[in-house]
Structure 1
Amino acid sequence: MCADTPENTVDYRDTVFLPETDFPMRAGLPQREPEWLERWARIGIYDTLRAKAGDRPPFVLHDGPPYANGHLHIGHALNKILKDFIVRSQQMMGKDSRYVPGWDCHGLPIEWKIEEQYRAKGLDKDAVDVVDFRQECRKFAEGWIDIQRDEFKRLGITGKWDKPYLTMDYHAEAVIADEFMKLLMNGALYQGSKPVMWSPVEKTALAEAEVEYHDHTSHTIWVRFKLQNGAAFVGKSLGQVTLQAIDLTDASIVIWTTTPWTIPQNRAVAYGPSIAYGLYEVTGRPEQSTAVIGEYLVLADALAEQVMAAAKLDGSMYRRIRDVNVSEFEGVILQHPYHGAEGGNGEWDYDVPMLPGDHVTDDAGTGFVHTAPSHGDDDYQLGLKFGLPMTYNVEPDGSYRKDLPIFAGQAIVLPDGKEGPANVSNIKQLAYARALLAKGKLKHSYPHSWRSKAPLIYRNTPQWFAAIDYKLDDGMGEYGDTIRTRALTSIDQLVKWTPPTGRNRLYSMIEARPDWVLSRQRAWGVPLTCFTKKGARPTDPDFLLRNDDVNARIKAAFEAEGADVWYKPGFKEQVLGNVVNAEEYEQVFDVLDVWFDSGSTHAFVLRDREDGTADGIADLYLEGTDQHRGWFHSSMLQACATKGRAPYRGVLTHGFTLDEKGMKMSKSLGNTVAPADVIKEYGADILRLWVAQSDYTVDLRIGKEILKGVADSYRRLRNTLRFMLGNLDGFTEAERLPVEEMPELERWVLHRLAELDHTVRKGYDAYDFSGVFQALFNFCTVDLSALYFDIRKDALYCDPHWATRRRAARTVLDLLFHRLTRWLAPMLPFTMEDVWLSRFPGEDSSIHLEDFAVTPADWRDEPLAAKWEGIRRARRAVTAALEVQRTAKVIGASLEAAPVVHVEDAALAAALKSVNFADLCITSGLEITTDPAPNEAFRLPEVPGFAVVFEQAEGEKCQRCWKILPDVGSHSHAHTCKRCDEALG
């Protein structure tokens, strides 16, 4: 091998086909992505796809509306990016994939913002005309819709952005009202007075979806209820001792509660029919205990020790007298602890019955449950069963009514969400009445408003409900005759759940849920468009006005002027005129739960829009796991009430976003990751790639280090694409080589493409984006960059332009290009547009107007793949052997080697000889033998029966391809091998 000196070298660099491309190595995504957004808007890609859809089958992902309030957070980005993956991939797989973004516009958060503005100006919201106030809310929502729309579009989200749906559009408000009036007409609507989750801070009822649970420290009290009538506990013989008969009036029933403020509303004490009870006597007490020596207490046996410990009594200070059979509680009447209280004005001088309740357990407490029907669902149900009266002691702001004796006006929850004096006042009053046996504190999970974060209470108020077990006679009974049965049937029979666990979550929620509270005591929303007859009771048949003509007038007015018209003077007379006497009816001014608004979107988006669906049913709803109690839930109930079935065929749920340590993000912790910040530093495609790489079915972590890793993956992928572009420069159809004329290596690549085509389409259809990306990323980095490109660089750079091997490689690169760019386009729309336009520039050109390329099934060649699996294993052993020599600085590059490989397997040896194995190993020469390998040969444990003996290549280095070959220097062009001499002509 001669030395490279100025005298014996020739510069052939200009004769080599080096890659040429304008596609930059550095992406510059933050600066360049807005240019592509402008371009897509200019050429109208979304509308173009709709216009040329032809007879494509539709695919509709119905957007769960975000709330028009505040900048986007990382959870918004995750949600919209996942949706975009689906919309784009379904389109490129041959569907007419429609996506109409939407916004939830009504509701308390916006109303609060406007109230804050009023307060800052010294204005009283209640003194402002309600229509003017609603107009302020509308303007506020409009402003944030414009901001959020731009933020969503910056993420690369495709959709009908110029015509989104808004729940505050006039048509939407008309349809929401119409959907509500269907409940009015089919009998599911009723007004009831029952306890609901109530926010004293926000002064309104809340739905389950608006409730979140946080740790909260509550007061706990153990309270004596004295007996009022004369049934007796009769003493029994215990061993040799006969105890004195104890009259019932000598004993106390003990209850336990974590809501002392509900004691004034007590109407009964419940016991468990299957619980074992005992009569206990206090025989001693420490000074700090409020127990009384000689008093008798009735307790559940399983809880007696805990109760006595709370009263600071140890086992030596009480004894169990006897069993108490639950039959002895029948007909027993108790006194309210405030019975005869000084200043009570007889408020609590009523009977408190003992009642059996299946909800009573001996897991905690005393075995007896204080029952306030106005402040708890179990209590309410027991009250319904036994006719207990309701109380109305608590005002909307969470304070006691002004005329309530002793506790008048005291707050349970203060306006700032902190605890008011009501709990402590009750504890003091109980102690004064000698009814307090013990007190303490308990940290437990407690309901809070998801908006104000303030604690909630159960409060009895007149509200409007949808009865989900009411038998509907509406001609839509294919899946059941009640809202609940239709929903449960839909969940089981009509909906595909991704992941499947979503089915169980929603099923259990709907199976156990109470009636839907539809009404809110607020101003900004769609009103409950109904009228009640003056003087009639809610149970009277004519309490609600049910009239089709009136309903039609309301809907028409809303279509023309929006829901504000409901609040304009004279509207009642306008719609009731010539139908009934308007003076005989009251107009309802509560507004609908905003979840009813969003639950109705299927009607005014899927059913009514021209880009909706023929049957008003979406192919997919996609939101976070919290929407099992939110939008998935309300949409299911609403559609089952008015449509007879679920409004969706598929539901996909994703997890929440956490920081890198798995902590929930919060501004106070300073660990939030804003989409805008990520885009500014990396670009939207990096954020999208983070989603593509993640398992969205669980909670996702994001942070600086994670994003650095994502950016590194992006760079590796970008280099693969850049290599393809550079080596496709000047490729024309005349150069294309038929598959049957290609070398085996190229046909193996096509086999892998055929495999990937199946994997990609199946993965996108199953919404397995991380699976799709991982398959493509591994293919690009392992099969292409580390193998195929590495091997074929020599042929691409140095073979004659007419050579079969080079033409085959360039043909395969073209086939790779058309598949990889399209397969990756749903996930990386900006980058793939950049790659596409680098080859196919033009004003109307776009990767997003293309479909996935059709991949011939006959590219699959399993026997060839099996053969090449063996060849690849053998290659790994050779490259590992050469790496040893490179590390030892025996050689600088693999082309300096010409190893001898010893192969025990004759079939593998034949396979290696059937291909140019030296080229595959990027060596200048290579000998294959089945002779036994010497002991010093290199062996790779994972490639048994294969050994490598290193030998240096002999000959002179070709100054064009750098191979070291014996024939170099014997051709017409100086210092070239035969192949390069022919290439030079």
Structure 2
Amino acid sequence: MTQSASDPDKTDLAEQYRDTVFLPRTSFPMRGGLPTQEPEWLKHWQESGLDGRLVEQAEGRPVFTLHDGPPYANGNLHIGHALNKINKDVINRAHRMAGYAVRYVPGWDCHGLPIEWKVEEGYRKAKRDKDTVPVLEFRAECRAYAAHWLNVQMQEFQRLGVQAEWHNRYATMDFSSEAAIVEEIGRFLLNGGLYRGLRPVMWSPVEKTALAEAEIEYHDHTSTTILVAFPVIQDPTPLHALADVSVVIWTTTPWTIPGNRALAFGPDITYVVLRVDETGEGAMLVPGAKVLVAEALVDSFCREAKVEAHHIVYTLPGSALEGTVCAHPLRGAGYDFDVPMLPGEFVTTEAGTGLVHQAPAHGEDDFQLCRAYGIEVPEVVQADGTYAPWVPIFAGVHVFKAADVVCEALADVMERANSTGAVPRGLVGRGQIVHSYPHSWRSRAPIIYRATPQWFIRMDGEGSLREKALEALEDVTFVPAQARNRLTSMVRTRPDWCISRQRAWGVPIAVFVEKRTGEVLRDAEVMARVVEAFRSEGADVWYSAQPERFLGEGRNPDEYEQVFDIVDVWFESGSTHAFVLGRPGLSFPADLYLEGSDQHRGWFQSSLLESVGTRGIAPFRALVTNGFVLDEQGRKMSKSLGNVVAPQDVNDSLGADVLRLWVMNSDTNDDLRIGKEILKQQGELYRRLRNTLRWLLGGLDGFTDAESLPYAQLPELERWVLHRLSELGGLVARAVETHEWVGVYPALHGFCTTDLSAFYFDIRKDSLYCDGPATPTRRAVRTVLDILHRCLSTWLAPVLVFTAEEAWCARFGRESSVHEQAFVDLPVEWNNPVLDERWTRVRAVRRVITTEIEGARRSGQIGSSLQAQVELTFSQEEAALFAGIDWAELAIVSHVDVVIDPTSSSVYVDAEEGGSLHGAPVVRVAAGEKCVRCWKVLPETGSHPAHPGLCLRCASVVADSKGLARA
């Protein structure tokens, strides 16, 4: 009868042999304590000179350059910053460990409106008029503000574990940077790409400046819609079809009516002259009125104009309208010009009337069409969004408050026309629409299109920048691949690049314009003097020095206009390649640019256009795009919703390594989600990885290279583990080469939890704890644990920068760093797909066995799996397939009997995974006694006279250890 485990004699024996078991020992704790330990590691790296050693190590290696897109220096880091910089850091670290020389120069964007806005906010609170502040004083305050936040962000990036040349960072407000930026402006000036012109640009009336597309965001906005009648005064149509007819347009921007100069029709659209027969309550048209609208939109027009009955007088093609001239509806009140009808390919019948009023100062299509026909572009709206003093009726009114005023004026003229029986003119109908409308992302206020004199970089014409940029993109790798379509389509359709801003904090467009001719001065010597002055004194010199310093001898400063517009910050950041990638050890073009998906219309595009325009090539070989960060419900983060996750809070509660793990466990190609539950899950994933490292370190206690066995002497199980390592090594190597890291670290986590912890470690802990030190199996296990520790420590090091260092130093001491190590070079012979296929089948059989064992445990038949013995029936085919497999070892039972049934079909080979339970393993209580040292139940236990209570294996190990101790 088997003696109970609670037998006093057994308990004494177990105590006697406890110290003979090779239990794991390590200084690597179960809990990481990351919030307190990570700053200590940062301090250690600084004191030990790790960065300097990495620079020395890089000498002679091939160069990998990831050029840092500059974050904006105006506040604490948000979670998007953390995502971006961690992504970059992982790629840089992985390339370094793959054998590249990596110089990562971090940078900051320091000029522009957001910083001006913050400084002006301080003025407003102090009731100080910004316009009374001397420009150099104002710029100095902006510089100080940017410098403060640059330093704050630098420290916060370092806390995230980002390794970079922090002492060598770049900033767009550095004197050398400002000089390089103005030099790039000069390149466009001298090659003819820069010009000044009048055309509509996106304009913020609140901030009183032009905006770039990347500075725009879209929000729902309620707009007033109006139908307006323009009476025909010149009718070239056959049979005078437009006699006594008014052309009706529909617009969502009533404020543009004062800027109207033409009407557009679709040449391929069919139009009708509609006679009003009956009207409903509130209608502005009266019976008998005749109007022109598109045939396809008659019904919707009648509903909006409250026309209840009508009939069609004429039907005519759009092409017949060419040459028609209308009167402005406010003729007689200061709008006494003709309004010609022009063919516009952009006109559709999707909404409105199929006829579009043209205000060339307030729309790109309007501008292009009117310019093509020589029509003036009036400037009726001022920088603050109010109508200019010379605008009849509306002078001083703000455009966003103009709808009522415009409608009132148009309604008045319609009432007068109706009362006199004249052709309809003025307001036909009024409504509202909620639509997506552009807003400034800083002020959150709606923007307008406004034609003002601005500085542009030409996209088309001789040596077309557009075509060169599209051609350059053909050689660029995109990750994800579909991002190529987005950037190319944006470049293909963008208008000329407006690079001027009407502000004070930034790099001025340092050029001169000859007053007599209006021509910009294109003189290389003048530009060289400007660049040199900027390099020594910064961009402030443009405001402090006299113009003759730059113009030189022979030119009268009174004959030139000095331009004080500043350059678009996107041009500045797009120029960073010129003053960063030119440094020693930083290749041009860069191997990689990596930013969020919004940078296809921002930094990616401005960098491309700037570099192609000045150097003829793209500044990057590859572009990697990551998504935006949302909360757990997929909502945008906002303080009002209370769903903001700050990286600083995650550092303080869970540690930066957990945040870094979240980044690399996410699908960064798409939008990411984060919140308390998601971070809690990442904490669990981190704990499992940490436990894997701890198990490896515990099992390697006292390990020396002398224990290692060559590959040929390793058991099949160990060779299978090395095969899995070779697969993962290939995954990491491909990620380094392609920059496609999505899925790599989930695969590593799966390997640690499924292949190692739940399988290999579970099986091999018996040999590790109980076999003798010199036994081949235990040596094989420790050989593989050594390789696993080196591989996992280095593969995890780019992500878990602090934990991997702790795991490395716990074994090798603090004199070296895991970040100085290379990824382990895995022999080709380790990759064995045939072996992997065999062990896939072996593990399927094991799952069937363990399922039966679990059933026996639940029923109370056995306690632990080692109290079981199993009878396993195989067909002859299966017996051959699984020859050499120690099933008792794999199933962690005390004994397995394999029975070969020549008449049996192949259950485990042919069945689906999990198999049919026909011929299922038979679980019985193991025969024999429990070994107090290894806990296996064996008939041989207690048979060694010198070691009662031990199996023969354990008795031999104990005897050997005593002999070694005496020796």
- For 1:474, the equivalent position in structure 2 comes to none
- For 2:531, the equivalent position in structure 1 comes to 555
TM-fit CA distance, 1:911: 4.8
- For 2:941, the equivalent position in structure 1 comes to 968
Q: Superposed, which structure 2 residues align to 1:107-146 within 5 Å? A: 107-146=112-151
TM-fit CA distance, 1:117: 1.5
TM-fit CA distance, 1:934: 11
User: Is contact 2:25-2:699 (8 Å) kept?
Assistant: yes
TM-fit CA distance, 1:932: 7.4
User: Is contact 1:267-1:352 (8 Å) kept?
Assistant: yes
Task: Find 1:425's aligned residue among 400, 405, 410.
Answer: 405
TM-fit CA distance, 1:910: 3.6
Q: Describe the superposition over 1:362-398 as per-residue Cα deviations: whole angstroms up to 9, x where unpaired.
A: 2211111101111111110011100001111111000
1:154 corresponds to 2:159: yes
Deviates more, 1:883-892 or 1:938-947: 938-947
Three-state SS of the structure 2 residue aligned to 1:110 is helix
Q: Superposed, which structure 2 residues align to 1:575-974 within 5 Å? A: 575-607=550-582, 609-613=583-587, 616-842=588-814, 844-904=815-875, 906-931=876-901, 942-943=914-915, 947-971=920-944, 972-974=946-948
- For 1:529, the equivalent position in structure 2 comes to 510
Q: Residues 783 and 287 from structure 1, CA distance in 2 versus in 1: closer, same or farther, beyond 3 angstroms?
A: closer
- For 2:271, the equivalent position in structure 1 comes to 277
1:358 corresponds to 2:328: no
Deviates more, 1:35-44 or 1:659-668: 35-44
User: Is contact 1:192-1:463 (8 Å) kept?
Assistant: yes
Q: How many angstroms apart in 2 are the aligned matches of 1:828 and 1:557?
A: 46
**What letter matches 1:23 in structure 2?**
F
Three-state SS of the structure 2 residue aligned to 1:653 is strand
Three-state SS of the structure 2 residue aligned to 1:359 is coil
1:491 corresponds to 2:473: yes
User: Is contact 2:861-2:925 (8 Å) kept?
Assistant: no
TM-fit CA distance, 1:580: 2.1
Three-state SS of the structure 2 residue aligned to 1:439 is strand
- For 1:326, the equivalent position in structure 2 comes to 318
Q: Describe the superposition over 1:668-711 as per-residue Cα deviations: whole angstroms up to 9, x where unpaired.
A: 11111111111111111111111111101111111111111111
Q: Residues 940 and 647 from structure 1, CA distance in 2 versus in 1: closer, same or farther, beyond 3 angstroms?
A: closer
**What letter matches 1:319 in structure 2?**
H
Three-state SS of the structure 2 residue aligned to 1:468 is coil
Q: How many angstroms apart in 1 are the aligned matches of 2:9 and 2:372?
A: 109
**What letter matches 2:410 in structure 1?**
L
TM-fit CA distance, 1:219: 0.7
Q: How many angstroms apart in 2 are the aligned matches of 1:862 and 1:769?
A: 24
Identity %, equivalent residues: 51
Q: Superposed, which structure 2 residues align to 1:450-529 within 5 Å? A: 450-471=441-462, 481-492=463-474, 494-529=475-510
Q: How many angstroms apart in 2 are the aligned matches of 1:871 and 1:302?
A: 71
TM-fit CA distance, 1:940: 9.1
1:263 corresponds to 2:257: yes
Q: Describe the superposition over 1:620-656 as per-residue Cα deviations: whole angstroms up to 9, x where unpaired.
A: 1111110000000101111111010110000010111
Three-state SS of the structure 2 residue aligned to 1:68 is coil
User: Is contact 1:550-1:579 (8 Å) kept?
Assistant: no
- For 2:420, the equivalent position in structure 1 comes to none
- For 2:329, the equivalent position in structure 1 comes to 337
User: Is contact 1:213-1:445 (8 Å) kept?
Assistant: yes
User: Is contact 1:874-1:946 (8 Å) kept?
Assistant: no
User: Is contact 1:933-1:947 (8 Å) kept?
Assistant: no
Q: Residues 135 and 256 from structure 1, CA distance in 2 versus in 1: closer, same or farther, beyond 3 angstroms?
A: same
Q: Superposed, which structure 2 residues align to 1:47-446 within 5 Å? A: 47-229=52-234, 231=236, 234=239, 248-314=242-308, 317-341=309-333, 347-412=334-399, 419=400, 421-434=401-414, 435-446=426-437
**What letter matches 2:318 in structure 1?**
V
Cα RMSD of the aligned pairs, angstroms, is: 1.7
Q: How many angstroms apart in 1 are the aligned matches of 2:98 and 2:379?
A: 61
Q: Describe the superposition over 1:405-429 as per-residue Cα deviations: whole angstroms up to 9, x where unpaired.
A: 21110111xxxxxx3x212100110
Three-state SS of the structure 2 residue aligned to 1:672 is coil
Q: Describe the superposition over 1:239-273 as per-residue Cα deviations: whole angstroms up to 9, x where unpaired.
A: xxxxxxx7734110111111111111111111111
TM-fit CA distance, 1:933: 10
- For 1:478, the equivalent position in structure 2 comes to none
TM-fit CA distance, 1:296: 0.5
Three-state SS of the structure 1 residue aligned to 2:869 is coil
Q: How many angstroms apart in 2 are the aligned matches of 1:625 and 1:422?
A: 37
Q: Describe the superposition over 1:30-53 as per-residue Cα deviations: whole angstroms up to 9, x where unpaired.
A: 111111111122233333222221
Three-state SS of the structure 1 residue aligned to 2:279 is coil
Q: How many angstroms apart in 2 are the aligned matches of 1:863 and 1:950?
A: 31
Q: How many angstroms apart in 1 are the aligned matches of 2:592 and 2:464?
A: 24
Q: Describe the superposition over 1:909-935 as per-residue Cα deviations: whole angstroms up to 9, x where unpaired.
A: 245451322111111111001137999
Three-state SS of the structure 1 residue aligned to 2:224 is strand
TM-fit CA distance, 1:577: 2.2
TM-fit CA distance, 1:332: 2.0
- For 2:417, the equivalent position in structure 1 comes to none
Three-state SS of the structure 1 residue aligned to 2:233 is coil
User: Is contact 1:877-1:940 (8 Å) kept?
Assistant: no
- For 1:564, the equivalent position in structure 2 comes to 540
User: Is contact 1:940-1:947 (8 Å) kept?
Assistant: no
TM-fit CA distance, 1:361: 1.4
TM-fit CA distance, 1:793: 0.5
- Counting matched residue pairs gives 938
Q: How many angstroms apart in 1 are the aligned matches of 2:237 and 2:813?
A: 97
Q: How many angstroms apart in 2 are the aligned matches of 1:496 and 1:710?
A: 31
User: Is contact 1:283-1:319 (8 Å) kept?
Assistant: yes
**What letter matches 1:758 in structure 2?**
G
**What letter matches 1:336 in structure 2?**
H
Q: Describe the superposition over 1:133-159 as per-residue Cα deviations: whole angstroms up to 9, x where unpaired.
A: 111100000000011111111111111
- For 1:3, the equivalent position in structure 2 comes to 4
Q: How many angstroms apart in 2 are the aligned matches of 1:862 and 1:262?
A: 71
Q: Describe the superposition over 1:517-546 as per-residue Cα deviations: whole angstroms up to 9, x where unpaired.
A: 010000000000100001223xxxxx1111
Q: How many angstroms apart in 2 are the aligned matches of 1:933 and 1:23?
A: 54
Q: How many angstroms apart in 1 are the aligned matches of 2:9 and 2:473?
A: 82
TM-fit CA distance, 1:965: 0.9
Q: How many angstroms apart in 2 are the aligned matches of 1:456 and 1:865?
A: 62
Q: How many angstroms apart in 1 are the aligned matches of 2:787 and 2:877?
A: 31
Q: How many angstroms apart in 2 are the aligned matches of 1:940 and 1:359?
A: 61
TM-fit CA distance, 1:232: 6.1
Q: How many angstroms apart in 2 are the aligned matches of 1:689 and 1:168?
A: 34
Q: How many angstroms apart in 1 are the aligned matches of 2:593 and 2:50?
A: 24
Q: How many angstroms apart in 2 are the aligned matches of 1:933 and 1:984?
A: 46
Q: How many angstroms apart in 1 are the aligned matches of 2:88 and 2:834?
A: 39
